Amino acid sequence: MAREIDLLTEAAARARTVVEKATNQAWELDELREAESAGQFREEDEFRPLVESGDVSGPFPGCLQRSGATEDFEHYRLLGQTRHFLVFEPPAE
């Protein structure tokens, strides 16, 4: 099994959208690297499918900061999750 932070940095490096479950906040690759340096999310974890995908409407569910955004979030595809994060594939350009 890999560490959760390793799974997340790999996903972010592949231009995936990594969103923290507790805050609905997207994390950039630099932020994940800082978290790794600080010793966060080092527990062993695995990338697994979301059990109840109906609970997630997009990469920023309920996030008021994104309510006026122009991006089309309906086309994001949920790839899976770790213990603390959801990972989405953004729409193709």
Q: The pTM is what?
A: 0.76
Digit-by-digit pLDDT tens for the chain (93 residues) are: 899 999 999 999 999 999 999 998 999 999 999 999 999 999 999 999 876 554 555 665 544 444 444 455 567 888 899 999 999 988 776
Report the distance separating Cα 30 and Cα 91, nearest Å. Answer: 22
Q: Give the domain ranges of the chain.
A: 2-89
Q: What angle do CA 46, 39, 34 make, to 5 degrees?
A: 95
Report the distance separating Cα 24 and Cα 35, nearest Å. Answer: 17
